Amino acid sequence: MRILGRIVGVRSTKQSVGIKVGGFLPRHHINGRIYGRIHGVERMVTMKVRWSIYVLVCCVLLCLTGCGSNKEAQRSVLRVGVVLYTQDDPFINALTDCLKEDLEDYETDSLKIIMTVRDGKNDQKLQDEVVEEILDAGCDILVVDLVDRTEPSNIIKMAKNENIPVIFFNREPVREDLMQWDKLYYVGGDARQSGTMQGEIAAQVIRTDHSVDRNADGKIQYVLLEGETGHQDAIIRTDSVVKTLQEQGITLEKLSYQFANWNRGQAENKMTQLIHHYGDEIELVLSNNDEMAMGAVAAYEASGYPKENRPVIFGIDGLDSALDAIQNDLIQGTVYNDRAGQAEQISRLAMDLFQGKELEGYDFENERYIFLPYQKVTAANVEEFLNR
């Protein structure tokens, strides 16, 4: 019987249990009295068996549901809502990828991190609505790249109502706005430094390679591709690159400034028009970012200009495509916009704010701003920046 019980215990369905019991004790071989006793015992065994199966099933169910969710329930969850000004910007997307990796690294057995990325589609009103949706759905930390850096008020108001800290990045809100509440922060690069570095790299190339001044008039005829109106990086980079070149003793002659909204396609169009208009008069292209510099390269590739008649071209960001272009001498330099460093600071801040820690070890300026330094990239050091 013990054997029976054991055998039966492992069976998972009543049907197979019944078959097994009958199989071990064929009734027609046993007389009435013995049959009665055996039959009683058999009934008892069957009940015991049923009971053990019931307990077993309960245990299994408990483990599958109860224990699992208990463990999950003990795991705290950090929900990070990332709202971009657009999802159509390679630099911003590269930075977002770094942020995702950094946050994943903070996950532990006791902390789950959910990062949601949403698109502001270049529309401040729509971005405000997206933030509202994210807050309604439940969010612990907001990370926002504003569409319009002068319009953070709605977002700040909503976040403050829900007591959700906001880390702005890339598009710098003015100090007055960031001081509206003590749970507002900004992480970005130092725009002036990027323009200055771009100017220094360009000056160095112009000084060492006299063929840049193609018409040998002692002046460098240049065009400038600008990011977008009102963007701190566009305004300051434009201003500081020109100033730096002049300070470095380069005589410049401005041919044209064109806005191309940080965008490769728009820059290619603008540059194609400039090539039609100025031909090989253009000796230097200064671009507020790499994507637009790559647009200029594309315009020259399409125009069929031989390399020796093309201008020198400089970008900012240090995107992989630009690093590759430097290696192939299609552009002559860029300035690394430290996306990895910025993502690292954002993720650290998000963690510390979530855990209510003291904000120690941050290099704050004006209490709430973190600026990461840029780095110059030319053919001489481009390898250091590959695969970052």
Residues near ligand GAL (CB under 6 A): 89, 91-92, 170-171, 233, 262, 289, 291, 316-317, 337
Residue closer to Ca ion (CB basis): 248 or 269: 248
Kindly tell me which residue out of 215, 246, 309, 355 binds Ca ion, with binding defined by CB under 5 A: 215
Residue closer to ligand GAL (CB basis): 171 or 270: 171
| Partner from Ca ion, ligand GAL, none binding residue 177, C-beta < 5-8 Å depending on class | none
Confirm if 120 and 147 have CB atoms less than 8 A apart: yes
Residue closer to ligand GAL (CB basis): 239 or 253: 239
Rounded-to-integer distance, Cα 371 and Cα 78, Å: 25
**Tokens coding 42:** 């058999």
| Partner from Ca ion, ligand GAL, none binding residue 384, C-beta < 5-8 Å depending on class | none
Rounded-to-integer distance, Cα 141 and Cα 328, Å: 42
- State the nearest-atom distance from the C-beta of 288 to Ca ion, in Å: 22
Using the rule CB under 5 A, is 309 a contact of Ca ion?
Answer: no
Rounded-to-integer distance, Cα 150 and Cα 231, Å: 9
Residue closer to ligand GAL (CB basis): 42 or 317: 317
Residue closer to Ca ion (CB basis): 213 or 324: 213
| Partner from ligand GAL, Ca ion, none binding residue 186, C-beta < 5-8 Å depending on class | none
| Partner from Ca ion, ligand GAL, none binding residue 213, C-beta < 5-8 Å depending on class | Ca ion
Confirm if 115 and 103 have CB atoms less than 8 A apart: yes
- State the nearest-atom distance from the C-beta of 62 to ligand GAL, in Å: 52
Q: Which of 194-202, 216-224, 228-236, 351-359 is the region at the interface with Ca ion (rule: CB under 5 A)?
A: 216-224
| Partner from ligand GAL, Ca ion, none binding residue 217, C-beta < 5-8 Å depending on class | Ca ion
- State the nearest-atom distance from the C-beta of 193 to ligand GAL, in Å: 12
Give, in degrees to the nearest 5, the angle at Cα 273 between 277 and 324.
115
Strand-pair partners of 258: 225
Kindly tell me which residue out of 119, 123, 151, 213 binds Ca ion, with binding defined by CB under 5 A: 213
Residue closer to Ca ion (CB basis): 112 or 277: 277
C-alpha dist (Å) from residue 14 to 1, 46, 102, 373 = 17, 9, 53, 72
C-alpha dist (Å) from residue 49 to 8, 16, 224, 356, 362 = 7, 12, 85, 54, 65
Confirm if 319 and 290 have CB atoms less than 8 A apart: yes
C-alpha dist (Å) from residue 10 to 2, 14, 46, 68, 295 = 13, 11, 13, 24, 70
| Partner from ligand GAL, Ca ion, none binding residue 334, C-beta < 5-8 Å depending on class | none
Is the sign of the CA dihedral 237, 243, 248, 253 positive or negative?
Answer: positive
- State the nearest-atom distance from the C-beta of 369 to Ca ion, in Å: 40
Residue closer to Ca ion (CB basis): 159 or 245: 245
Of 225, 285, 299, 297, residue with least CA distance to 259: 225
C-alpha dist (Å) from residue 187 to 70, 273, 353, 373 = 37, 36, 14, 11
Using the rule CB under 5 A, is 217 a contact of Ca ion?
Answer: yes
How many helices, marked H, and strands, marked E, lie in the chain? 14, 13
Using the rule CB under 5 A, is 320 a contact of Ca ion?
Answer: no
**Tokens coding 269:** 């169009």
| Partner from Ca ion, ligand GAL, none binding residue 91, C-beta < 5-8 Å depending on class | ligand GAL
Q: How many residues bind Ca ion (CB under 5 A)?
A: 4
- State the nearest-atom distance from the C-beta of 178 to Ca ion, in Å: 44
Residues that bind Ca ion (CB under 5 A): 213, 215, 217, 219
